[in-house]
Amino acid sequence: MGPMELIRADGITFSYSRSPVLHNVSLSVRKGEIVSLLGPNGSGKSTLLKVLLGLYRPGSGSVLLEGRPISRIAPKELAKRIAYVPQTHRMAFAYRVVDVVLMGRTPHKPFFSRYSRHDLDVALQALDRLSIGHLKDQSYTDISGGERQLTLIARALAQGADILVMDEPATSLDFGNQVRLLDQITGLSRLGFTFVKSTHFPDHAMWIADRVVMLQKGSVIADGKPCDVMNDESVCRLYNTEVSILKVNGTLRTCMPRSLITRNPGANNGRARISAKP
């Protein structure tokens, strides 16, 4: 493993029943990276994330965290390094936001004891870090989807984890909240936090990911920097739909349906000029 390599998965095969859902998947994640898993529905993204989290044991292959097999790391210890941030969800009970974040402190306290003053401070700091300290006493069921997603990230930070595994974190968020979430992820990665996340938005991968891993039918078909592996051909093939990747301001890129481009004079095959003014 290289010095910056945190997670290394090698030759992962996984089956729920008879036919494998992951075939010989290998990938590595370096400290501070944002790694995006892209792939159509059912390609194995969620399954791979759960294998990386140590929730599913692969049929063959290994997952190492800083060189140690993840299967041999005690759950409490593992939870202090890796946190799973689920898609925004509603909780059955109207916990306060701060109580949801405090749940992240569970691996740090003896089983039957209460949360300490230090736990509370850590939870409040995590909320502040995500600029949602003002929500601490609100009911988790009464805040917006974007605020819930930030609360779940705060819980992961309170847990002490430096690796955040997120399954389609932006899927149920409105556009503003998607942008705010991407900004937070970028900011945290600059502080050294590492993200492995799946997404259904190619744009999100192009906008913020350091690495993209494309999964198709449980196999990795591409792994590299978005600028190297995401092009018209690879994205069309991945989603079985015609798209073009357009350049914006020379360096930024966005993915557009080709049918839309052909209906739109002045835009074609990546040579479109996108004006800042409407």
* Site for ligand ATP, rule CB under 6 A: 16, 21, 39, 41-47
> 33: alpha, beta or left, given left = phi > 0 and alpha = psi -120 to 50?
beta
Q: Helices (DSSP H) in 111-165: which residue ranges? A: 117-129, 145-158
How near is the Cβ of 47 to ligand ATP at its closest, in Å? 3
| Alpha carbons 43 and 20: distance in angstroms, whole number | 11
Q: Cβ closer to ligand ATP: 41 or 113?
A: 41
Question: Minimum CB separation from ligand ATP for residue 145, in Å?
Answer: 18
Which residues have C-beta within 8 Å of that of residue 60, sequence separation ≥ 6?
A: 11, 12, 13
Compare residues 17 and 275 and give the one whose CB is closer to ligand ATP.
17
Q: Which is nearer to ligand ATP, 44 or 226 (CB)?
A: 44
Least distance CB 39 / ligand ATP (angstroms) = 5
Shortest CB 49 distance to ligand ATP, Å: 8
Rounded least distance, CB 218 to ligand ATP, Å: 7
Q: How far apart are the first and last CA of the chain?
A: 49
- What is the nearest approach in angstroms of ligand ATP to the Cβ of residue 48? 7
Alpha-carbon distance 4 to 30, whole Å?
5
| Closer of 47 and 234 to ligand ATP (Cβ) | 47
Find the DSSP H helices in the chain. 45-52, 75-79, 97-102, 117-129, 145-158, 175-190, 202-208, 226-229, 232-239, 258-262
Q: Closer to ligand ATP by CB, 43 or 159: give it.
A: 43
When the beta carbons of 31 and 200 are compared against ligand ATP, the nearer one is 200
Q: Which residues, in sequence order, are CB contacts of 86 under 8 Å at separation 6+?
A: 152, 167
Letter for the amino acid at 148? R
